[in-house]
Structure 1
Amino acid sequence: MQDVRDLARDLVSIPSHEDETAVGDRIESWLREHTDADVTRDDAPNGGNVLARKGSGESLALVGHHDVVEPDESQVADGDYEVYEEDGRLYGRGSADMKGAVAAAMVAFRDADPESLDCELVFASFVGEEIGGTGARFAIDEGFAPDYAVVGEGSTGYSGDGVTDVVVAHKGRRGSTVVATGEAAHASEVENGENAVYRACDAVDVIRDLDFPRTEVFGHAVEGSVTVTEIDGGTAWNVVPERCEVTVDERTVPGERAALDRVEEVAGVEWTVDQDLPPMQCSDEVFADVVLDVAREVQDGIPEHVVKPHATDAGWLADAGTACVIYGPSEQGEAHTADESVSLDVLDRCYRTYRRLAGSWS
């Protein structure tokens, strides 16, 4: 427990919202000092991903990321991130999302005896998760392809207070832009123009009537959504607008997308995808059940298979063929806040789960 706590405090204190090099250096040096694993650092932008491997056979990866979102000013002191403990919790930017889980995975990786492993155990901490999974995508392009992965994003508190569940699916996000073009004219002579805002409104009506994407994973319903979040058009009160843009947020589900291309049936309307973070579904129910069994052994609560609403790097890994689940200490609503924190007891629970899973999976 103390090793996880001390390492988590160390990692949380190191700034990593603009450049992840320094915290990546710390992760790499710790792994080289405390393990005999094959430790590597790739050339992913903003500091590189840190990877470590030991054992042989089918590969099981413990996966995290060490970048964070920009801290609140209250979370910075003397150039470092403020970090402290109070009431059994570790406070600081990245404590929940997700350096605490990275620390738990590192210590579990260290403590897994290579002589007793029936698999290749892999540790991976990526850069760029908060900006679209750039580190994970780089690693995958370079050949990173574990057979199985436990991603340490938050899974605590879904089925019940304080229970750390096993996420078997999560939504993705497709952000897109609908552009309506028309012809400008003086507002006193509307018949001489073509109103782009009207065309955009017709496209919004199409979006409003679309069915939300939905599916099931291991009997659990996964329902997405589609909604207009921004609209911008026109240049002056007395000019018929010639351009109008509409921003659309879609929460995607495995194997399904909303039929947003239907907006292009409206004259003068084009649709482009700006970001597409993939959803995740575990492709191996036996693996998901094994992780759940181990999770039940290390806590008093009764964890369940659950669905997570947020996109993570697990989506990129699953899309590349890795059987993924998510199991981590962060609770809903903890990440990205000015008082971000994580339970130290739950960090220890995650450490024990990761270590026990490494010894039992084959």
Structure 2
Amino acid sequence: MDAIELTRDLVAIPSHDSEAAVGDYIEDWLRDHTDAEVRRDDAGTDEDRGGNVFARKGSGEVTLALVGHHDVVPPDESQLTESGEYVIEERDGRIYGRGTADMKGALAAAMVAVREAEPACELVFASFVGEEVGGVGARYAIENGFAPDYAVVTEGSTGYSGPQTTDVAVAHKGRRGSTITASGEAAHASETEEGENAIYRATDAVDIVRDLEFPSTDVLGHSMCGSVAVTEIDGGSAMNVLPERCELTVDERTVPGERAPLSRVEEVTGVEWTVDQDLPPMACGDEAFADAVLDAADGAQDDTPEHVVKPHATDAGWLSEAGTDCVICGIAEPGEAHTATESASLAVIECCERVYRTLAASFAG
């Protein structure tokens, strides 16, 4: 079975409500088709996620991990049959269906690479649960001792420097989502002096957010700039009542080592700021490793790949935060993941299998 056939099998197993069944398939396939030591943990089992899947083979002074995830976001109606199965189509050199790009195509490529590789190091395959809901599996694995020296996270890196070119991302932004809550005192709108307008306090906080400088940094010669934006507002109860409460949501894209000083909004009377989600950014700190992955990518395709940066968070952020040097190299192109027309290039699936296999055979730290 090659990586394309395996992609078809993985995509055919629904994994948006529960990824346990596809996790079973991955575990069984690795046991049946590789000489790796295979195990399963208990990540997300209380939510019927079925646990992360790991495979390990080879030995050496360093550990190289090929990391993916086997959960997907809910499919569009057009991606489901009447009986609830996933629709899979192939045309014009691409495979279409929920999870093809994010990220079962790359997962299949990594599984075949584990089967075929004769690693120069200790090679680990890891497929996590719950990536789409905040890194459930990655965080569980890290908390329970998963600490490879190096990792290739197989999220999308194709199409950044050129169409169909599989690049190597050396950094990505994180995301911090937060809430600004302004409290006031309700009063009749005809007697404004009797109350405190929570919306006015909220807009004072918005002025502070608007004037914040965006954090920036450099990673291996690549500039990264974060952003901060107020994205939602909710306040007021009636046209003739001064509002006693107003809430704002803030989307912040973070860069390694930096955060915008959003706590300044609490300088406004009656305003509180709370962090709801903080997905960490990623930065590769080992240029030699980044170059080794780029060399493998260069040898696996006719185009010339480049080091690039990604705009959004992945499980690489959790691994990087825990001390693993990471890069991202995978099949998904910008704009493919989570869409009703999600697809992956068959040629790029094969390319990524070559990248992973070549890197495992050549990288010894």
Using the TM superposition, name which of 36-45 and 248-257 deviates more. 36-45
Partner of 1:195: 197
Aligned equivalent of 2:52, options 45, 49, 64: 49
For 1:107, the aligned partner's letter is V
Partner of 1:132: 134
Partner of 1:5: 4
User: Matches of 2:20 and 2:227 in 1, distance apart?
Assistant: 36
Partner of 1:257: 259
For 1:217, the aligned partner's letter is V
For 1:230, the aligned partner's letter is E
Q: Please state if 1:225 is matched with 2:227.
A: yes
Percent identity among equivalent residues?
72
- CA deviation vs aligned residue, 1:194-231 (integer Å, no higher than 9, x gap): 00000000000000000011100011011110000000
Within 5 Å, give how 1:271-286 maps onto structure 2.
271-286=273-288
- CA deviation vs aligned residue, 1:233-285 (integer Å, no higher than 9, x gap): 11111111010000000000000000101000111100000000000000111
Shift of residue 80, structure 1, vs aligned partner:
1.8
Number of positions where the alignment pairs a residue of Structure 1 with one of Structure 2: 358
Q: Please state if 1:170 is matched with 2:172.
A: yes
Shift of residue 84, structure 1, vs aligned partner:
1.8
Using the TM superposition, name which of 120-129 and 71-80 deviates more. 71-80
Shift of residue 294, structure 1, vs aligned partner:
1.1
User: Matches of 1:264 and 1:355 in 2, distance apart?
Assistant: 52
Shift of residue 355, structure 1, vs aligned partner:
0.2
User: Matches of 2:110 and 2:58 in 1, distance apart?
Assistant: 16
Within 5 Å, give how 1:1-362 maps onto structure 2.
3-45=2-44, 46-57=49-60, 58-77=62-81, 78-113=83-118, 117-362=119-364
- CA deviation vs aligned residue, 1:51-105 (integer Å, no higher than 9, x gap): 0101112100000000000001111123321112111101110000000000000
Shift of residue 33, structure 1, vs aligned partner:
0.3
For 1:288, the aligned partner's letter is A
Shift of residue 298, structure 1, vs aligned partner:
1.2
Using the TM superposition, name which of 100-109 and 32-41 deviates more. 32-41
- CA deviation vs aligned residue, 1:153-193 (integer Å, no higher than 9, x gap): 00011111111110000000000000000111111111000
Shift of residue 297, structure 1, vs aligned partner:
0.9
For 1:86, the aligned partner's letter is R
User: Matches of 1:79 and 1:144 in 2, distance apart?
Assistant: 35
User: Matches of 2:152 and 2:312 in 1, distance apart?
Assistant: 16
For 2:37, the aligned partner's letter is D
| Aligned partner of residue 327 in structure 2, secondary structure | strand
For 1:32, the aligned partner's letter is R
- CA deviation vs aligned residue, 1:335-355 (integer Å, no higher than 9, x gap): 111111000000000000000
User: Matches of 2:142 and 2:66 in 1, distance apart?
Assistant: 15
For 2:269, the aligned partner's letter is A
User: Matches of 1:284 and 1:80 in 2, distance apart?
Assistant: 43
| Aligned partner of residue 2 in structure 2, secondary structure | helix
| Aligned partner of residue 126 in structure 2, secondary structure | strand
Structure 1 segments of 4+ aligned residues over 4 angstroms from their partners: none
| Aligned partner of residue 80 in structure 1, secondary structure | coil
User: Matches of 1:29 and 1:297 in 2, distance apart?
Assistant: 31
Shift of residue 302, structure 1, vs aligned partner:
1.0
TM-score normalised over the length of structure 1: 0.98
For 1:39, the aligned partner's letter is V
* Structure 2 gaps, min length 5: none
